Amino acid sequence: MTRYSRITGTGSYLPPNRLTNAQLAAELATRGVETSDEWIVERTGISARHFAAPDVTSSDLGLEAARRAIEAAGLQAADIDLIIVATSTPDMVFPSVACILQHKLGIAGCAAFDLQAVCSGFVYALSVADAMIKSGAASKALVVGAEVFSRILDFSDRTTCVLFGDGAGAVVLEASDTPGILASDLHADGRHVGILCVPGHVSGGQVLGSALLTMDGKAVFKLAVGVLESAARATLAKAELTEADIDWLIPHQANLRIMHSTAKKLKLPLEKLIVTVDQHGNTSAASIPLALDDAVRSGKVKKGDIVMLEGVGGGFTWGAVLLKY
């Protein structure tokens, strides 16, 4: 019998400190940085984001999301035999957030590692977990996207600091006789490292170079629109399906204009687009599982629905996972 993988539970968590655009603009004004609710909404679709308290880490956010996903799957933490955490804002240089999360879940022994593909991280991690389940290396995987991007934002740069937020999302992916994950398609192009990066690194007890996010927004925008369409089409072709089969499109939640443009290129009505960027901002690797959990718990995504997940981000990386929920 063919072995497939299937999502059996979703969960997410946002830190309680929610900042509207107006609140953020007022705070930035005290630093001499000028922005407005109107500008942010018009250019990005973002109205609010959540920021974690200074002592809260990606593993803390991931733990809450993981607990909810495990509960939704009807499992105990001890049942999990693989943990993959997609993050670009780890608690430490090492060990991985996945190992810290494993300990916080009160379990030990199963494989646990982080995957770093910035905003494409969750799609990459889901694809890797799917392959490991299909190969027999794991049966009950916990796949988490967890980020505290507020830690790497340059609050003197209005072109980037208004875009991002903190949060975590998680799914439990289990071995199944029926699919599940139908197809995935992953890519990277390292020629574009410089358009979206945190260029600093740790050396000799110091951070050398800047430890803050820098982005060429226009270059990212242009690349994102093209690759999101091509990844969706490649994934559909692998699964021998067409755009018409998609019930829900859940792209990386970075910018509403990019998301609308992707839906349009795929000839999907906007009612099929799951949008949480307005309330969460861009939470990088956490954005897709946060949006998926929101769509599942609000009753939009139902069992049997065909869902297209799409990530794009620093690297440059991009990819898609098509699944039957």
Is 282 tagged catalytic?
yes
What residue is closest to ligand ACO based on CB? Answer: 217
119 binds ligand ACO (CB under 6 A): yes
CA distances from 178 to 119, 246, 323 (A): 29, 18, 11
Is 119 tagged catalytic?
yes
Q: Residue 195 CB: number of other CB atoms within 10 A? A: 18
Binding track, positions 280-319, relative to ligand ACO; x by CB under 6 A: --x-x---------------------------xxx-----
Beta pairing class for 306-313 and 248-251? parallel
220 binds ligand ACO (CB under 6 A): yes
Binding track, positions 232-271, relative to ligand ACO; x by CB under 6 A: ----------------------xx--x-------------
Q: Residue 103 CB: number of other CB atoms within 10 A? A: 13
CA distances from 237 to 55, 62, 240, 250, 323 (A): 45, 33, 5, 18, 13
Measured between alpha carbons, how far is 152 from 198 in angstroms, rounded to an integer?
8
Choose between 218 and 267: whose C-beta lies nearer to ligand ACO: 218
Three-state secondary structure readout of 152-184:
HCCCCCHHHHCCECEEEEEEEEEEECCCCEEEE
Choose between 15 and 251: whose C-beta lies nearer to ligand ACO: 251
Q: Dihedrals φ, ψ of 147, to 5°?
A: -145, 145
159 binds ligand ACO (CB under 6 A): yes
218 binds ligand ACO (CB under 6 A): yes
Do residues 45 and 110 touch, judged by C-beta distance below 8 A?
Answer: no
Q: Give residues 41-60 in contact with ligand ACO (rule: CB under 6 A).
A: 43-44
Residue ranges binding ligand ACO (CB under 6 A)? 35, 39-40, 43-44, 118-119, 158-159, 162, 196, 217-218, 220-221, 224, 254-255, 258, 282, 284, 312-314
Q: Known catalytic residues?
A: 119, 252, 282
